[in-house]
Amino acid sequence: MAEGFREWGEYGKEEEWRSRPPIKKVFSFRTLKKILKIICIVLISTVYLVLGYRLITGLGVPGAATKLVWLENTKAAYDAEGGDLSVYAQTPEATFGEDGRFSIYQMKFIPEISQLQLTIRYNRSTVAALKSSIEKKYAAPEGATAEEKAAAQAKTDEALSMIDDAPFAFILRDDTGKVYTKYSMTSFKKGLYTYVRLVYDDVELFNTETAPRDSGYFSPDEKYSDIIYKGANKSVATSSDISYLYIDFYYENDVKYDSESWADPLLVYRSGLEMTEYDVKKDPPEKAKNGDVRYFDVAQTD
């Protein structure tokens, strides 16, 4: 009997709802609950879509990002070898640094012309971190006067205005003490990420004659090897293979070769890791899409 009354009560409520004029239905608690439910569903779906998009774009690397950059000397070497140009590739041990600001993908080396190519990726949060570090650098000290605060803000604004579409400098360092500051670069954006394809010439991975170095460097086997020490352990000239290469990251308007990298250095090459032959026939110069190639010779700033 109780169930019958309950069912009749629900039926009566439904009939009462149907008999209401439209205006009362719009401003009813039932309509409000439906609206809130729809909003929650939309918000949850949006969050999952955004997370899914970031996951998909973050894991995948566009094929163009790891293609060869065909510069004039690369093409000349290819032609001289009759299209049978030897190119070796190595996958880095670690893709990301601990700070997550940059990631690195497939290093390629062309022995005939001592050319090394690699790909770096970063997203908008890396540029935001750069802006934040600039703001901290020029921030007025605690207790500063209004005039000092205004001057500090002016310096900050000036520095921020100098950030362009290529704000980073990419410097290679090897274990022999040599620093590589000249490179060609082409880049493109896809989704949240910027992909930078770098080309360094005169990188002698094998049988390198080195000058005495002024700084000591941790081996990748040592603890905290990603922190490259620069400042001791002078050595004599040697002739040997390069054991490992790191890449340092600097803001283009704040470069000091012996200063700490702005982001965690990444290991580019290690002699103990396997190198595989890259199939140039699948990536010939006639199919190249280099984009806008720019040349950089990074100098130290004042």
* Cβ-contact 216, 231 below 8 angstroms: yes
pLDDT below 50 — which residues of the chain?
1-2, 4-5, 8, 48, 50-59, 208, 210-218, 223-224, 226-239
How many angstroms separate the CA atoms of 93 and 224, rounded? 14
Contact indicator for 271, 242 with CB cutoff of 8 Å: yes
Question: How far, in Å, CA of 86 to CA of 78, rounded?
Answer: 9
Q: What pLDDT, on a 0 to 100 scale, did the predictor assign at position 55? A: 46
Q: What does the pLDDT look like over 31-41, one tens digit per residue?
A: 656 666 777 76
HEC sequence for 230-270 = CCCCCCCCEEECCCEEEEEEEECCECCCCCCCCCCCEEEEE
- pTM for the complete prediction? 0.72
Q: What residue spans define the domains of the chain?
A: 2-54, 61-297
Q: What are the residue ranges of helices labelled H in the chain?
A: 2-19, 22-26, 29-59, 72-80, 124-138, 146-161
Contact 167, 127 (CB under 8 A): yes
The predicted-structure confidence for 256-273, as pLDDT tens digits, reads as follows 988 899 999 999 999 888
- CA-CA distance, 264 to 53, in Å (whole number)? 26
pLDDT at 108: 96
What is the model's pLDDT at position 27?
59
